[in-house]
Structure 1
Amino acid sequence: MKYSRLMVGLSTIFMALILTACQTQKVKPIIPRKLSQDFIISSQFNRNSSQKKLLVKFLRNKMITKQGIYTNYRYDTSSENLTHGHQMLSESSGLWLLYLATNHQYKKFRQTYQQTKKTFNQKNQFSYRYDPRTHKKANVNATLDDLRIIRALQMYATLTHSKYYRQEAAKRFALLKTGSLKNGKVADFYDVKSHKQSSDSSLAYYDFVTLKYFESVNQTGKRLYKKQLKIVQNGYLGDAFPLYAASYQLKTQTYSVNTLNTSEALETVLHLAEIGKIKATTLSWLKTQIEAGHLYNAYTTLGIVRDKNQSAANYALAAMIFACENDQNMYEKAMQLAWKSQVTKTNSPIYGGLGNAQTTDAFSYNNLETLLAAEY
């Protein structure tokens, strides 16, 4: 009896593995008929070429490895935050791929993408974190990171007219729709171990340029895109504090009242600005913060400051938003504030990077977002 139960159990597991493999293989991507220029950065506002060169040199020499990009230059084994130190994030790889495509470094792009797949690939998605010490990948992705990589692939395909990378971008989107984008729901993540989709949906994860392009292949996709856009737009907090809720609960269909991480809040605004859906009130609020030189790291949903620290990434995101609005003056003001974090002491180990010269903290997100903003 025990033997037969064991055999039944093993057979069930075996069939499940076969079914999963077949499902992965049977995904047939539908490639949009036309290339879209929405993936291409068209503004040419940047004037900080010397600062950008120093930043690129720092990243290449101190942060980028054969496996990926360090999350922080400083190696801190005692840190409780798993994304500190020399952990690697698919987020960083996606931002670097966007830079390489925008900068027309096509050979390096291809090499980096192959490296990204080797380090983070989990068949239908990219793990959000990899630990080079243990060679372990996190069981979950972060949907925005996947969409960012897909966006980079499509940007490359548009710039080079590559059929291979156009196919690759469509395939990765189709695979993502079997997990964290299943049924059009933009879930925070999909767990490859438990095979469950998150019920949380961060509004920062709705990359509308990418979603709109790949959902445009049929009427079902177009309807899903409209629902996705509506979810974000309905998360507007009001004219008194014109940003958006941090997340949406897919099961209860309610919005979070949690404190806003400013970088995530601005990612949401940037995605709306890229499709011409930014509110005038939001833009006015952002201008006021840049003019005053204080865009803080966290706010309550009522606009009360919760963290008075500031980061280069926030200003870089603001700069990209202003570039979308063709406002060169505000773009340059925001970039000046971002570049304030650049370390200019030549004897510093993080010279050229954006960070803290005393602690040698230099986070990849701040550095890569600023580098990408410098391409606008």
Structure 2
Amino acid sequence: MVLEDVLLQRSIKLIFMVLFSVLLTGCSREEIHVTTPNGESGFSQTTDYGQYPNQEKKLKSFIENGLLTKSGIYTNFKKQSFKENAARGHELLSESSGMWLEYLAYNHKYREFREFYKETKKTFDLKTQFSYRYTPSKNKKFSVNATLDDLRIIKALQMYGEATGNKKYKKEAATRFAMLQRNTMSKGKIASFYDTDSKKQSAEGSLAYYDFQILKYFEDTKSGRKMYQQQLSVVQNGYLGDAFPLYASSYNWQSKSYSNNDLNTSEAMETLLHLAKINKLQKASLNWLTRQVKNNTLYNTYSVNGNIVNRSHSAGSYAIAAMIFATEHDKKMYQKAMKLVWKYQVLDKNSDIYGAIGIEHQNEAYSFNNLTTLLAANY
């Protein structure tokens, strides 16, 4: 009888463990509530300002032949040694893949879109999010994402779904957003990244990562709209003032304070673009940007007081500025910004990076500058 009792207890314990496991599995699935929004997102809306067929043809050819691989897009045309803390050389970024997917969706290249998204998942998928970086030489997929890069891919999926009427891709976009939301968003917070190994999110949230057009579309519920207003307040309260009308680089949710770090201008431009997309761009910000583009003085780095830290220029910053002007329906300033962008295009047919937005004598052409320019040319 004692042996039978022991066996019975073991059986009961085993049954309980199985049931508990099933319950846990069920709960984890129920944690993600996916609602596919109705109506058009407006993600694909552009002007007809981007009339640069010759420059764009050369640029697209360089990207396809010099940067594009089956698995993704090289960070830089030039091979560079591996560094743990910074992607470079022939590493692949989900940022680049998201921008390429956007371009394919804009231009109705549907078969290419489907094939490239399939490869994007193979390269970067971490099940609940996309890795921000993959190193082919080490077969290393980093365990952290970059929230803005995920949002960009989600945007491209929605654009494709709307353009083709494909419900599968709309569902994929909504599911991806719901999973991303669970890991990186709460009460107005958008963490810059989430680590799938440590199960922790960053304490800081980059204000450039608040893509309001995407957030507004997917957060179209009562609780979602409340979160959206909180998110908008986080960015708007980071305004540095009319004297230097940009925004702090990030907000720390632990210290409840905005960063005093210097501003990376490309990220600062992203913040302005996201506000422009929802008609929330400050007039002072637009006037400041107009002056910088007119005078070709949009520099790479500023202090929060508006002092110039780095006097170099970036084609990517001017390209995002062009997108802002197009969003504000200012064709003249869009064209001025694009004129400055095209100054960086390599036109020597003997160069390895002919057609690229790059540094010819160094044989360097970064994916961000090239892809941002390609997108801006399609506005």
Q: TM-score, normalised by structure 2?
A: 0.92
1:54 aligns with 2:96: no
Mapped contact 1:177–1:184 kept (Cα < 8 A): no
Shift of 1:262: 0.1
The number of equivalent residue pairs is: 361
Of 15-24 and 226-235, the range deviating more from structure 2: 15-24
Q: Deviations over 1:178-236 (max 9, x none)?
A: 212255520000010100011100000000010000001x2110000000001001100
Q: 1:293 aligns with which of 293, 296, 300?
A: 296
Equivalent residue, structure 2, for 1:8: none
Shift of 1:252: 2.1
Q: Matched residues in 2 for 1:16 and 1:188: separation?
A: 32
1:138 aligns with 2:142: yes
Equivalent residue, structure 1, for 2:9: none
Show the 5 A alignment for 1:178-327: 178-182=182-186, 184-216=188-220, 218-327=221-330
Q: Matched residues in 2 for 1:46 and 1:127: separation?
A: 32
Question: Runs of 4+ in structure 1 displaced over 6 angstroms?
Answer: 15-18
* Secondary structure of the structure 1 residue equivalent to 2:309: strand
**What fraction of aligned residue pairs are identical, expressed as a percent?**
52
Show the 5 A alignment for 1:1-376: 23=28, 27-36=32-41, 38-77=42-81, 82-182=86-186, 184-216=188-220, 218-376=221-379
Mapped contact 2:186–2:227 kept (Cα < 8 A): no
Mapped contact 1:186–1:206 kept (Cα < 8 A): yes
Kindly provide the amino acid, as one letter, of the partner of residue 38 in structure 2.
R
Structure 1 unpaired stretches of 5+: 1-11
Kindly provide the amino acid, as one letter, of the partner of residue 285 in structure 1.
W
Shift of 1:32: 1.1
Of 180-189 and 15-24, the range deviating more from structure 2: 15-24
Q: Matched residues in 2 for 1:223 and 1:171: separation?
A: 20
* Secondary structure of the structure 1 residue equivalent to 2:144: coil
Q: Matched residues in 2 for 1:105 and 1:78: separation?
A: 33
Equivalent residue, structure 1, for 2:6: none
Mapped contact 1:73–1:86 kept (Cα < 8 A): yes
Mapped contact 1:208–1:272 kept (Cα < 8 A): yes
CA 1:16–1:96 in 2, change beyond 3 Å: closer, same or farther? Answer: farther
Q: Matched residues in 2 for 1:237 and 1:20: separation?
A: 46
CA 1:163–1:56 in 2, change beyond 3 Å: closer, same or farther? Answer: same
Kindly provide the amino acid, as one letter, of the partner of residue 344 in structure 2.
S
Shift of 1:314: 0.4
CA 1:347–1:229 in 2, change beyond 3 Å: closer, same or farther? Answer: same
* Secondary structure of the structure 2 residue equivalent to 1:23: helix
Of 18-27 and 88-97, the range deviating more from structure 2: 18-27
Q: Deviations over 1:89-121 (max 9, x none)?
A: 000001111111011111111111111111000
CA 1:25–1:127 in 2, change beyond 3 Å: closer, same or farther? Answer: farther
* Secondary structure of the structure 2 residue equivalent to 1:133: helix
Q: Deviations over 1:220-259 (max 9, x none)?
A: 1000000000100110000000000000011222100100
Shift of 1:23: 2.3
Mapped contact 1:24–1:123 kept (Cα < 8 A): no
Kindly provide the amino acid, as one letter, of the partner of residue 338 in structure 1.
V
Q: Deviations over 1:2-53 (max 9, x none)?
A: xxxxxxxxxx9xx9999589625863311112222x2113301012110000
Structure 2 unpaired stretches of 5+: 1-16
Kindly provide the amino acid, as one letter, of the partner of residue 99 in structure 1.
Y
* Secondary structure of the structure 2 residue equivalent to 1:179: helix
CA 1:181–1:124 in 2, change beyond 3 Å: closer, same or farther? Answer: same
Q: TM-score, normalised by structure 1?
A: 0.92
* Secondary structure of the structure 2 residue equivalent to 1:213: helix
Mapped contact 1:176–1:182 kept (Cα < 8 A): no
Mapped contact 2:82–2:88 kept (Cα < 8 A): no
* Secondary structure of the structure 1 residue equivalent to 2:101: helix
Q: CA RMSD in A?
A: 1.9
